[in-house]
Amino acid sequence: MNMVLLIAHGSRREQSNIEVREVAKRLEEDAAGSFDGVIPAFLELAEPSIQSGVALCSEAGAHEVTVVPYFLSAGRHVVEDIPRELGKAAKLHPHLQIHMRRHIGGHVEMTRLLYHSALGPSAGDK
């Protein structure tokens, strides 16, 4: 069983955290053929934490956890903080294979998304 852990920064503004949870929900639907579920987790300021998120994957029966950092740049959070938290989680859950993917700002498809966004409707349009 392979779960995705979608890790976002977390915000004091709850609406931003809700937006991440909604993205995770849509991803779960779209990725149902390849992954058994998607759990959102937050580096700080929101719940579940990365540790709790990995524990939730384990409780759900995961053997593999695919970590997608929902970050636009490879800053300290991506380079140091998330790997450190995943290292701690790996010690607590030695049966889990944890794979960390690149931050999404580094994904080759980001340029296409930005292009389509530039072509698309304005912020105020429905």
Q: Are 3 and 10 in contact, with CB atoms under 8 Å apart?
A: no
Contact with a copy of itself (CB under 8 A): which of 1, 26, 88, 97? Answer: 26
Q: Which stretch binds a copy of itself (CB under 8 A): 31-39, 40-48, 50-58, 89-97?
A: 31-39
Closest approach, Cβ 121 to a copy of itself, in A, equals: 8
Q: Which stretch binds a copy of itself (CB under 8 A): 7-15, 40-48, 51-59, 87-95?
A: 7-15
- Taken as a whole, the chain contains a residue count of 126
The count of residues interacting with a copy of itself (CB under 8 A) is 51
Q: Are 76 and 15 in contact, with CB atoms under 8 Å apart?
A: no
Closest approach, Cβ 46 to a copy of itself, in A, equals: 11
Handedness of CA 91, 52, 22, 37 (dihedral sign): positive
Contact with a copy of itself (CB under 8 A): which of 51, 52, 90, 105? Answer: 105
In three-state secondary structure terms, 37 is strand
The residues, any chain, with a CB within 8 Å of residue 81's CB and separated by 6 or more, are: 43
In three-state secondary structure terms, 42 is strand
- What is the contact surface with a copy of itself in residues (CB under 8 A)? 4, 6, 8, 11, 13, 15-16, 19-20, 23, 26-27, 30-31, 34-35, 66, 68-76, 99-107, 109-124
